[in-house]
């Protein structure tokens, strides 16, 4: 049995993509590590990052490497000359079987992969990604109506 138990790590959320739950139907979630430079980790610790417009893609169609694109990490101020490009593609670290499943889903079934949240799991930066399908406009309206009905019911039950 392995000594490093991942369940005992302290989790600290940095940011969440709340809009993703409104715009997409989430099919399946994955936890991925992310390949970063030292100044990027320091900027993320300060909360100076944004995943609003980012997505995941396989840059090379023949390889099984998943990259996070448009994930903005602001430059770390004290590291003036050793800073990074704020929007460079960053490699995501997943198991080979998970990468193969994701690649098939994206290529054949028309799904998209987006990040849902960025957090620290112990000393490691993790990204929660999801396999999603875009909602149509009428689906969004139905979701809003359901939430309003549930709020109304819960208010009436409390009174």
pLDDT of residue 5: 54
Asked if the structure places residue 1 within a domain, the reply is no
pLDDT of residue 7: 65
Q: Is the pLDDT assigned to residue 6 strictly greater than 70? A: no
Asked if the structure places residue 4 within a domain, the reply is no
Per-residue pLDDT tens for 102-116?
Answer: 998 888 888 899 999
Q: Is the pLDDT assigned to residue 9 strictly greater than 90? A: no
CA distance 134 to 4: 37
Average of pLDDT values for 43-60? 88
Higher pLDDT among residues 43 and 7, named by residue: 43
Task: Domain of residue 127: give its range.
Answer: 9-158
Per-residue pLDDT tens for 52-73?
Answer: 889 999 988 788 899 999 988 8
CA distance 113 to 66: 10
Share of the chain above pLDDT 90, in %: 26
CATH of the domain at 102: 2.40.280.10
CA distance 108 to 102: 10
> Do residues 74 and 51 touch, judged by C-beta distance below 8 A?
no
Asked if the structure places residue 3 within a domain, the reply is no
For the entire predicted model, the pTM comes to 0.77
Asked if the structure places residue 101 within a domain, the reply is yes
Share of the chain above pLDDT 70, in %: 94
């Amino acid at each position: 049995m392995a000594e490093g138990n991942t369940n005992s790590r302290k989790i600290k959320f940095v940011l969440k993509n709340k809009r993703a739950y409104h715009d997409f139907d989430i099919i399946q979630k994955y936890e991925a590590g992310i390949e970063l430079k030292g100044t990027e980790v320091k900027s993320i610790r300060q909360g100076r990052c944004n995943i609003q417009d980012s997505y995941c893609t396989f840059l090379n169609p023949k390889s099984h490497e998943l990259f996070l694109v448009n994930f903005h990490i602001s430059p770390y101020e004290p590291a003036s000359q050793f800073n990074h490009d704020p929007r460079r593609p960053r490699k995501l670290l997943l198991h080979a079987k998970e990468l193969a499943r994701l690649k098939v889903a994206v290529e054949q079934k028309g799904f998209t992969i987006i990040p849902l949240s960025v957090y620290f799991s112990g000393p490691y930066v993790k990204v929660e990604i999801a396999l999603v399908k875009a909602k149509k406009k009428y689906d969004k309206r139905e979701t809003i109506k359901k939430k309003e009905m549930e709020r109304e019911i819960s208010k009436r039950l409390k009174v």
